Chain A
Amino acid sequence: MAKQYEFSSRRLPYLLVLPQMAIVFVFFFWPAIQAVWQSLYIQDAFGLSMIFVGLSNYVRLFKDPSYINSLFISFAFAAVVAFSAMTLALFLAVQANRRIRGAAFYKTMLVWPYAMATLVAGVLWLFLFSPNVGIIAYFLKHSLGIDWNHLLRAGQAFLLVSIAASWKQVSYNFVFFLAGLQNVPAALVEAAAIDGASPFRRFWSVVFPLLSPTTFYLLVMNLVYAFFETFPIIHQVTEGGPGQATNILVYRVYKDGVINLDLGASSAESVILMLIVIGLTVLQFRFVERKVTY
């Protein structure tokens, strides 16, 4: 048990956390409370007339097939992005953690995409896959015979935003996995090797369990990333299209709130999104965390 420090005044500790709490309240709790409150009304853009409608903004959403579609797409997108960004990062981290020539160079290169703004990542992938001018699209068409057109093909559009979003997140995961791997005591791995465990076995039964706190942390972060921070990629690459094939929840919140100025619907959507992410995080802490060995 760590040594505890006793404050001489009872008020001082509260005073010390006050600035942080004030920031949390003003920038997180207050907007969240406002969203809940506004989701119970319909109102015009200027707030000149507000009509209390109870839960009808929510009812309207769940009766709307396009909203149910957005829910499914968001979950699918989050699952794909979190899974691919984490497995790829883990693979790369394991490779970079070995004694190889130029390891520092690889590590630096792999971290670089993280320095890039998400929007720029979107632009980059859009250019590569643009059906008219993109080099990858050109290669797919002329070498593999795949007619790439994510502007009209729902599956391709989903694939493209998933690739872009995962690529952007790999660097972040890589840093954490690499740090986690470097904390795995070499003695344990060597002992397993002496006992005759294969490299895969050593990784799966020794290293991976020791990485579980890192993996758990990254799972939470990646899901939050996929639900919220991928907004610029959707905005830049597909605008939610074709049709509504990539119209994830956070993009709807933006469209309805900022473009359409329908604050009631937008607030209801953001409250649902908030509940989903809170729910997912709670679930993970209750069920996944049990499997984590610190």
Chain B
Amino acid sequence: MKRLVIALAAFALLCGTAFAEPVTIEFWHAMGGKNGDVTQAIIDKFNASQSDYKVVGVFKGSYADTMNAGIAAFRAGQPPAILQVYEVGTATMMSAKGAIVPVYKLMQEEGQSFDPHEFIPAISGYYSTSSGQMLSMPFNSSTAVMYYNKDAFRKAGLDPNKPPKTWPEVFADARKLKAAGYQGGLTSNWFGWIQLENFSAWHNVPFGTKSNGFDGFDTRLVFNGPLQLRHLTNLYNLSKEGVFIYGGRDNAANSLFTSGQVPIHFESIGGYGAMKSTCKFDFGVAMLPYYPDVKGAPQNSIIGGASLWVMAKQSQAQYKAVAAFLTFLSKPDIQSYFHEQTGYLPVTLAAYKLTKEQGYYKDNPGLEVAIQQLNNKTPTPNSRGIRFGYMPQIRTICDEQWESILGGKETVKQGLDNMVRLGNELLRKFEQIAQ
């Protein structure tokens, strides 16, 4: 009997070492379609690169679906190790102290060499504390840029290789394009993100107090300043002239541009690939315009997209696996591959350099414009990003008020003041909960 026990124990020990199951961690993401394939390919590469850890990628639907799934799983006591969360969920995630492990802390504890300075500042800064500690790992990042229809520029007698640099130039060109027979001159996606958040950062004016929310939840929105008022008034007046065409919320205005009806469009660089495959005309990508009389403009634009959060309630071995995977993700060749395959921006400076050396930007100059725009200047407290609770709702409020302004239900000033007032009510509520 004793012998049998020893034999069994020896056998078990043998199994434990020789056939060690890799430590498995789950990675829940919102990358569908082509982006999902690329994400899975990277996971496969990681799994093939070593035998200790195994990452299982699970597609959970939209950003909101993925975040909800992660939250529900946490409440049920079984969160995934890694959860992809869109940029507007950042304040919610970082305030959930018992639910997440900050990335800088994890990397420190697991002894992974991890230098935040290797990252593009405008990207890593968005997900860091104001003292530079990275809370989550940037994954897919984009920024807002200007797309313009080169064929239309030629038709209207404008130089297709000299896109307008300032807002006054954009407005003048847009009027000319309209006069040349186009349905309208300019349109825009993502009103709140592009025309308010990025607009404010690009001109180095605050969107909210406390460094746009980075320095505490007792922050207030202040984007109803004179510059934003001036900009929205200009857009409103152009809308009355039929030069600015409102295309709907989110990315609904794309069809106006891709169908050739409106030649100047503001959209995420994340839509670059889709533009290339749908536009039947020659188009260019240019940096966001600015008002030349604003001191310090242009500053740098801010990002959109999503980052990876490390969740609580994992085992020690699993955290080791997470750290190894995150280190793998930030390798230049992996970043460069993701960048070229999806159109999202590389998150490290080394990956940008590598992509450039490979000559990728010769055929895809638009992507480099976006990176240059993020790197235009060292981010300031006004241009590092925005961090507010209930941010998805704040963007909805902006959409709603903007529609009421354009529909003539309220003046530009009233609408802008309403956005700030209603947004601040939400921020006070968030402050109460996020103590």
Task: Name A's B-contacting residues (CB within 8 A).
Answer: 42-49, 51, 130, 132-133, 151-154, 239-244, 255-256, 258-262
Contact = CB atoms under 8 A, between A and B. Distances in A.
A276 to B, nearest CB: 23
Contacts, number: 87
Contact of B404 (A42, A43, A49, A243): A243
B273 interface: no
Contact of B261 (A132, A239, A258, A260): A132
A255 B393 contact: yes
B400 A241 contact: yes
B393 A43 contact: no
B403 A44 contact: no
A132 B435 CA distance: 47
Contact of B256 (A43, A46, A132, A256): A132
A261 B392 CA distance: 10
A46 B94 CA distance: 11
Contact of A239 (B71, B98, B249, B393): B249
Contact of A152 (B67, B246, B435): B246
Interface in B360-411: 390, 392-393, 396, 399-401, 403-404, 406-407, 409
Contacts of A45: 71, 92, 96
Contact of A242 (B64, B392, B403, B429): B403
Complex A-B, nearest 6 residue pairs according to Cβ-Cβ distance, in ascending order: A242-B403, A243-B404, A260-B393, A152-B407, A46-B99, A46-B96
Nearest to B249: A239
A241 B249 contact: yes
A133 B259 contact: yes
A132 B259 contact: yes
Contacts of A42: 429, 432-433
20 contacts: A42-B429, A44-B96, A44-B433, A45-B92, A51-B433, A132-B183, A132-B247, A132-B256, A133-B255, A133-B259, A151-B247, A151-B403, A152-B403, A239-B250, A241-B400, A241-B403, A255-B393, A255-B396, A261-B68, A261-B71
A153 B409 CA distance: 10
A42 B68 CA distance: 17
B95 interface: yes
Contacts of A240: 396, 400
B74 interface: yes
A46 B407 contact: no
A48 B98 contact: yes
B433 A151 contact: no
A241 B247 contact: no
A22 B68 CA distance: 26
A49 B403 contact: no
A43 B433 contact: yes
Contact of A48 (B97, B255, B400): B97
A262 B96 CA distance: 14
Nearest to A259: B392
A260 B392 contact: yes
Q: Which of B399, B400, B429 has the most CB of A within 10 A?
A: B400
A247 to B, nearest CB: 8
Nearest to B92: A45
A258 B433 contact: no
Interface in B253-305: 255-256, 259, 261
A244 B400 contact: yes
